[in-house]
Amino acid sequence: MSKGDGGKWIKIYPFSSVPLGYPPWIGQIDFSGIMLYNCSIMIKIIVEKSGDNKKIVSYLQNQFHTLSSGTIYKALRNKDIRVNDVKIKENVTIHAGDEITLYIKDELLYGSSANALNVVYEDENIIVVNKPQEIIVVSDKNERGIDKQVEEYCKLPYVRPCHRLDRNTSGLVIFAKNEMSEKAMLAMIKEKMVKKYYRALVCGVPQAKDATLTAYLFKDAKKSVVLISDEPKKGYQKIITKYQLLKKNPDGTSLLEVELITGRTHQIRAHLAHIGHPIIGDGKYGVNQINKQFGKNKQELQAYKLVFEGAYAPLEYLKGKEIKI
């Protein structure tokens, strides 16, 4: 990882020496003071011209490449970020010369074994990574996605994601390293040569140990939510979801293996909620009271296995291969 552009840093450690493994660009170290806030180390950044008129969330993600937007917004809510010594709680615009003070733990700022890029499989044409929760797949103007981490890891001119996962769904994402491989993989996914399996922790225990569910899904883009109907309706698309019961838990939850036959927005989350078994932690389609009971605020859903039943050139060698976490 390299330092982002646009800031001069001063860092104050509560130690007599810099911990091993920290990058040399940390900046000026002042050992004369011990400044801790909620067990975090204080960092001050002076915004330079290249950071002028930027939103603080995107600016900080450029400075700290493993820092998720979720962590930044949480720090804002907790008032752990200051601009010119004023506590802020919104995604404000910053300007050259502003002083940003952060009280965020080092492992979140610089990365650790917990949030470094987790490569599950790699060859000359594709790379498959295990995406954590709280990060999007494709970067946009406001947020850095895992695609940037993959680009930095591969150091290639062409790296493209072949599919996506929801922000808070963890698991396997395939990236192509060249245009031919991207076209082949997209065609393989479209023609259902690539089977995707998920693990979901749900409320309750389904009556059937395994089932193929059919319903119809409507995407309300304005509200960023989907609706499920048992009957076909105008504007609704047919969806098919298969599941198998893996485990019944004493706490009234169960672990399911879910296979996506069709791949619509929020399909697994909405479909399981529709049949009365919402995913634990799902704030959109789940039950808040149940989520609080289990202390979960992100859906317990993981894309854990890929099975290649067929493949096109130049990926023929993937036929019959299984990749899983």
Question: Which residues belong to the active site?
Answer: 166
Whether a cis peptide bond, with omega within 30° of 0, leads into 14 is no
Q: Decide: helix, strand or coil at residue 297.
A: coil
The burial of 159, by beta-carbon neighbours within 10 Å (0-12 exposed, 13-18 middle, 19 or more buried), is given as buried
Residue with tokens 């970067």: 139
Determine the Cα–Cα distance for residues 211 and 204; give it in Å rounded to an integer.
Answer: 16
Which helix (H) or strand (E) covers residue 308, if one does? strand 301-308
**Terminal-to-terminal C-alpha distance of the chain:** 25
| DSSP 8-state secondary structure symbol assigned to residue 188 | H
CA distances from 160 to 1, 232, 257 (A): 20, 35, 28
Cα–Cα distance measured from residue 108 to residue 114, given in angstroms and rounded to the nearest whole number? 9
Read off the DSSP letter of residue 92: -
Residue 205: is it exposed, middle or buried by C-beta count within 10 angstroms (0-12/13-18/19+)? Answer: middle
Decide the pairing of beta strands 194-203 and 253-260.
antiparallel
Residue 197: φ, ψ to 5° = -120, 140
The closest of 48, 55, 143, 50 to 99, measured between CA atoms, is 48
